[in-house]
Amino acid sequence: MLAFLRRYGTLAGFVLILIFFVIRLPDTFLTAQNWLNITQQLSMLMVVAAGMTIVMVMGDFDLSVGSMASLSGIVAAILFSFGWPIWAAVGVALLAGLVGGLINGALVSFVGILPFVATLATLTIFSGTAFVVSGGKTISGRAIPDAFGAFAREGLPLGPVTLPNLTIVALVVVAVVWVLLEHTTFGRRLYAVGGNVEAAYLSGVPVRRLKLLAFSLTGLSAAGAGLLYASRVASANPTQGSGLMLNAIASVFLGMTMSEEGEPRILATLIGVLILGVLDNGLTQMSVDSYVRQILVGAIIVIAVSASSLSKSTRR
Amino acid sequence: MALLSLHNVSKAYAGVPALRGVDLDIASGEIHALMGENGAGKSTLIKILAGVVAPDTASIAIDGVLVTIDSPAAARRRGLRFIHQEMSVVPALSVAENIMMGRVYPRRAGLFVDWRALHRISRDVLETLGITHIDPRQKMARLSLGDRMLVKISSAFLADAGAPARLYVMDEPTAALTRDESERLFKVLRGIRASGNSVLYVSHRIDEVMTLCDRATVLRDGKPIDSGLLNGISHDDLVALMIGRKIGDAYPPATVTPTAEIAYERPGLILHKGEIVGIAGLSGMGQTELLRKIFGDPGKAWKSGIAYVPKERRSEGLITTRPIYQNITLPHLQSQSLGGTWLTPRRERRFATTLGESVKLRAVGPDQRVLELSGGNQQKVVFAKALGGDPKLLLLDEPTRGVDVGAKFDIYSIIRDMTAKGMAVLLVSSDLPELIGMSDRIAVMRDGAIVLTTPAAGLTEEALLNLCYGRDAAAAQVA
């Protein structure tokens, strides 16, 4: 019973949440349209959480993802207002994410600053840059090309429903990260570093280069999420990505409770993201106050992590 | 009446018995050895005594009175003191703080820590062990491995008001100590015996047990095999009792002689193909640093055919939460994957299984996690990993530390097999018989440098020890 709770508690909790909403919201919750909505709402978080999973596999964090998401949206919007074509502006915004991630990685691996401190510093730098570049204003309206905003509204028609583009992008990112982490030597080495960095180093794993690469990918994913967000609201604001970081870390933690070794796994992160998203969606439909929602989300994280460490530490 | 008497102690982990009806009697004023291979149940028995593990069945009596030991604090109250095998020290704290850990610090005005008293108490307790070279104010991190062990040992000798020590339980206390440090510890243990208290002593070093202990209890597969006086028992008989079979010599003989072809060369050190060169020296004379220097950048080293078995297998050699095969293939992922990028787990498992067989690894399969293996088998995983790329040069740092007799012999055999295929081996060890038994030549290190190299054949332990101490003029003639 205890072993079951430890391993499958989070999953069981997720199922209970689903059942609860199915009963309370019989007409609206379990519909294809609602679920497409959920996945669309979740796509930004999913992309950031996927990137976060990569660094957390090594036992590191990236606190700067939220402000990087804001910054990339701003960069793209500013370039749009200069009349740049969509592909070029999007490319530069993604490049900004890559470079920001490289800076994080360099600070952590070559300068040797703790990830917590390094990315806390870059968090404020990226955020400040976003404010400076945008002049603190929301960039919207005619500056944003129609096609950019349309991307988030459109999708792939599948019979009676339409699979939103944002959902497709999130699924592609999950698939790419899954392949990277589970099927490449890169992923294996990341897990080795997370398991025992000294043993990994002595086994010839290029720890520094690996960290650099991992943080770059996390920065890239954060920038991608920022673009998705900007497309969805057809505007860019220097604070619009700020909620992503905590939720992304929470999702990875929720996922970690599902693996025996307590290691982050991308598919488990996906479940973690779904838990947060479903909760948000259902509670909103039940008109629960958003502050009460925050309390509930926090409580669920505490319960899930406690359940997964049940009896591991009973004697201490 | 026995000081401590255990009767019918049993414990199973998830249905697998670790101890089966073990009896153990320790008299007052004796040093009692607890022996057995890794996995024989010694650690479990000690943990039950320490109140860390709850037994399934047990009756424990101290001075003939039945007691229950359900927590470390209860064990302490009953007069039991423990020195566990794992090096559980806090490097960031001072020596004194490590010694006093878990105790009430002396206070000034009931509030402020009385550092001067703390340091005095620590200095006194170190002095009872004859240790004067360690300053209690020093950070633990600055100490050598041997010194850290001494500090940890000394904390068990801290006087405790209301609960005088009766029995000291020591699990491999000399694993990280030099000969001199061990001798100092033995003197203290003999003092304990003389005062009427007792010691339960766990060690893989049979010679040590033979000279130090009065009686021994041998466990095999969780069952007590024999318990009796050590007087009159031979070394080989004791080994046979532990592993349940006779083994011939402790060290398999060399099957080939080293070639004249040079495998590795640096100023002061030449290794020929098929040769084992031992590195001797007192602890902390730069042996590990020399290996690290030769190894250099790990990525380049593995590629150029240099393999390394580090000293601390858990913290440096293994990723214990990962499966066996992933540990073995980690340095060889380049060749065991598609284009160095795409993982091919089936190929990896085959690779790991073959290597596991060649080192006589006992495991459920390549997917078993390393943390589920015994110490000896974990070390075999480290060896399998090192041998994976058919290295030209194998660097070994204390390869048999904390490894039981059976696995030790297996490891020696592996080393012999590899040299027969032309591999050169550099063997750092504080186990002098091991160095003499395995090496072709022995290089002696003092103060970070190799000061001399001598053939191992005909060398006695005493002569080698003298060389380590720098009394080479007289000793060289003996050699």
Interface test with B, best of A203, A205, A256 (most B CBs within 10 A): A203
Tell me the β-bridge partners of B107: B113
Contact B318 A199 (CB under 8 A): yes
**CA atoms of B145 and B464, how far apart (whole Å):** 22
What letter represents residue A76's amino acid?
A: A
Closest CA to B413 of B240, B242, B249: B249
ipTM of the prediction: 0.90
Contact A202 B303 (CB under 8 A): no
Mean pLDDT in residue range B283-295: 90
- Identify the residue whose tokens are 């414990």: B11
Query: Can you give B110-128 as a three-state secondary structure string?
Result: CCEECHHHHHHHHHHHHHH
* Integer Rg of chain B from CA: 23
**CA atoms of B365 and B373, how far apart (whole Å):** 11
In chain A, which residue's Cα lies nearest the Cα of B385? Answer: A203
| Coil, strand or helix at A112 | coil
First to last CA, chain A: 21
Q: CB within 8 A of B313, min separation 6: which ones?
A: B375, B378, B379, B382
- Quick one: pLDDT at residue A313? 45
- Quick one: pLDDT at residue B87? 61
| Prediction pTM value | 0.79
Interface test with A, best of B303, B321, B346, B351 (most A CBs within 10 A): B321
Q: Is the pLDDT of residue B477 over 60?
A: no
Is residue B167 within 8 Å of B3, Cβ to Cβ?
yes
**CA atoms of B136 and B158, how far apart (whole Å):** 14
- Quick one: pLDDT at residue B15? 66
Nearest to A204 among B298, B322, B337 (CB): B298
Contact B315 A198 (CB under 8 A): yes
**CA atoms of A13 and A34, how far apart (whole Å):** 21
Q: CB within 8 A of B86, min separation 6: which ones?
A: none
Confidence of residue B478 (pLDDT cuts 50, 70, 90): very low
Q: CB within 8 A of B382, min separation 6: which ones?
A: B309, B310, B313, B317, B318
Residues of chain B that touch chain A, judged by Cβ-Cβ distance less than 8 Å:
52, 295, 298-299, 301-303, 308, 310, 315-322, 326, 330-331, 333-334, 337, 340-343, 385
Angle at B202 between CA B1 and CA B91, to 5 degrees: 120
Q: Is the pLDDT of residue B239 over 80?
A: no
Q: Is the pLDDT of residue B249 over 80?
A: no
**CA atoms of B479 and B477, how far apart (whole Å):** 5
Distance from CA of A271 to the nearest CA of B (A): 23
Q: Which residues of chain A carry a pLDDT beneath 50?
A: 311, 313-316
Give the number of C-alpha atoms closer than 13 A to the C-alpha of residue B48, restricted to the C-beta side: 26
**CA atoms of B307 and B415, how far apart (whole Å):** 13
- Quick one: pLDDT at residue A1? 65
Express each pLDDT in B168-223 by its tens digit: 998 888 877 777 888 888 988 898 898 889 999 988 778 888 889 999 888 887 77
Mean pLDDT in residue range B80-108: 83
Nearest to B310 among A192, A202, A315 (CB): A202
- Quick one: pLDDT at residue B165? 85
Q: From residue A201, give the alpha-carbon distance in Å to each of A250, B32, B57, B392, B425.
A: 29, 42, 45, 20, 22
Interface test with B, best of A181, A190, A202, A313 (most B CBs within 10 A): A202
Q: Is B428 exposed, middle or buried (0-12, 13-18, 19+ CB in 10 A)?
A: buried
Query: Which span out of A4-18, B51-65, B346-360, B456-470 was modeled with the highest average pLDDT?
Result: B346-360
Q: List alpha helices for chain A, DSSP H.
A: 2-24, 32-57, 65-81, 86-106, 115-134, 146-153, 165-183, 185-195, 197-202, 207-233, 244-256, 266-285, 290-308
Q: Is any Cβ of chain B less than 8 angstroms from the Cβ of A265?
A: no
- Quick one: pLDDT at residue B476? 45
Express each pLDDT in B305-328 by its tens digit: 999 999 988 899 999 999 999 999
Contacts of A265 in chain B (CB under 8 A): none
Length of chain A: 316
Q: Is any Cβ of chain B less than 8 angstroms from the Cβ of A312?
A: no
Nearest to B302 among A184, A204, A315 (CB): A204
Q: Is any Cβ of chain B less than 8 angstroms from the Cβ of A316?
A: no
Express each pLDDT in A53-70 by its tens digit: 999 999 999 999 999 999
B449, two tokens = 């440098």
Express each pLDDT in B435-463 by its tens digit: 999 999 999 998 889 999 999 988 887 78
Q: List alpha helices for B13-158, DSSP H.
A: 42-49, 72-77, 95-99, 115-128, 145-155
Q: What is the mean pLDDT of chain A?
A: 92
- Quick one: pLDDT at residue A314? 43
- Quick one: pLDDT at residue B252? 85
B402, two tokens = 């904390």
Query: Can you give B440-457 as a three-state secondary structure string?
Result: CEEEEEECCEEEEEEECC
**CA atoms of B158 and B155, how far apart (whole Å):** 5
| Coil, strand or helix at A165 | helix
- DSSP letters for B269-335: EEEETT-EEEEE-STTSSHHHHHHHHH-SHHHHHHTTEEEE-S-IIIII--TTSBHHHHHHGGGTTT
Helix (H) or strand (E) holding B143: none
Contacts of A315 in chain B (CB under 8 A): 52
Tell me the β-bridge partners of B198: B167
Q: What is the mean pLDDT of chain B?
A: 86
Nearest to B330 among A186, A192, A261 (CB): A192
Closest CA to B266 of B393, B119, B163, B149: B393
What letter represents residue A87's amino acid?
A: W
B380: left (phi over 0), alpha (psi -120 to 50) or beta: alpha
- DSSP letters for B384-453: HHHHTT--SEEEEESTTTT--HHHHHHHHHHHHHHHHTT-EEEEE-S-HHHHHHH-SEEEEEETTEEEEE
Confidence of residue B246 (pLDDT cuts 50, 70, 90): low
**Helix A207-233 and helix A185-195, axial crossing angle in degrees, nearest 10:** 110
- Quick one: pLDDT at residue B72? 86
CB count, 10 Å around CB of B467?
25
Among A residues 176-215, those touching chain B with beta carbons less than 8 Å apart? 182-189, 191-192, 195-196, 198-206
Contacts of A186 in chain B (CB under 8 A): 341
DSSP state at residue B35: E
Nearest to B316 among A187, A195, A202 (CB): A202
- Quick one: pLDDT at residue B245? 57
In chain A, which residue's Cα lies nearest the Cα of B331? Answer: A203
- Quick one: pLDDT at residue A316? 41
Interface test with A, best of B316, B333, B383, B385 (most A CBs within 10 A): B333
**CA atoms of B103 and B96, how far apart (whole Å):** 11
User: Could you tell me which residue, B461 or B270, shows the higher pLDDT?
Assistant: B270
Is residue A94 within 8 Å of A72, Cβ to Cβ?
yes
Tell me the β-bridge partners of B425: B276, B394
CB count, 10 Å around CB of A277?
21
Contact A184 B342 (CB under 8 A): yes
